[in-house]
Amino acid sequence: MEAGNFYQNPHRRFNPLTGDWVLVSPHRAERPWSGQLEVAASGAALTYDPNCYLCPGNERAGGARNSQYQSTFVFSNDFAALKPPELEKARPSRQDESGRGLLLSESEAGICKVICFSPRHEMTLARMTIPEITRVVETWAEQYSAIGSLPYIQYVQIFENRGEMMGCSNAHPHGQIWANQTIPNEPRKEQQAQKAYLQKNRACLLCDYLQMEAQAETRMIVENAHFTALVPFWAVWPFEVMLLSKVHVGNLGSLDAAMRTGLADIFKQLTTRYDNLFEISFPYSMGFHQSPTDEESHPEWHLHAHFYPPLLRSSMVRKFMVGYEMMASPQRDITPEAAAATLRNLSGIHYSERRQR
Residues involved in catalysis: 174
Strands 21-24 and 331-332, sheet pairing: parallel
The strand pairing partners of 160, in sequence order, are 286
End-to-end CA distance of the chain: 48
Dihedral, CA atoms, 337, 339, 345, 350, nearest 10 degrees? -150
> CA torsion, points 55, 58, 59, 60, in degrees to nearest 10?
0
Query: What does the alpha-carbon distance between residue 133 and residue 131 come to, in Å, rounded to a whole number?
Result: 5
Q: Which H/E stretch holds residue 324?
A: helix 324-327
Q: Using CA of residue 178, residue 183, residue 188, residue 191, what is the dihedral sign? A: positive
Going by DSSP bridges, is the β-strand pair 331-332/174-180 parallel, antiparallel, or unpaired? unpaired
Sheet holding 331-332: strands in order across?
Answer: 11-14, 21-24, 331-332
Give the list of residues 6+ apart from residue 338 with CB closer than 8 angstroms, or none.
26
CA distance linking residue 156 with residue 237, whole number of Å: 24
